[in-house]
Amino acid sequence: MVFGTSKIQLMLNRLGEPITLGGTTVNGLVDVVDVAPEGPELGTFAGRLTTVVLKTGSLPGLAQGVTLVVRSVNRKVQETRQIEDGELTAVFCS
């Protein structure tokens, strides 16, 4: 589904939360879920996965390993993927 650049920005402005990288803050959609690995080789531990959806290109320097501030907590970027025809980027953080 393609929303168009102006509608995406409007959605992020209305529904988004502040996401900061360095000195740049933008609005993004945040989802936090508890996760537990499956499989005996992984051992037993539980964690929390934070996913942030941002407008693609809105945070210069966004890359694996950098730290974002999400809900006033430092989160390390594990992976990024473009979604929605490349207009948005999903950022997976730990």
pTM (2 d.p.): 0.83
Looking at per-residue pLDDT, the higher value among 5 and 32 belongs to 32
Confidence band of 81 (pLDDT split at 50, 70, 90): very high
pLDDT in tens, 41-78: 666 667 889 999 999 999 999 999 999 999 999 999 99
Q: Residue 78 corresponds to which tokens in the numbers above?
A: 């594990």
How many CA atoms are closer than 13 Å to the CA of 34, on its beta-carbon side? 2
Is 7 strand, coil or helix? Answer: helix
Confidence band of 2 (pLDDT split at 50, 70, 90): low
Confidence band of 7 (pLDDT split at 50, 70, 90): confident
Residue 57: per-residue pLDDT:
94
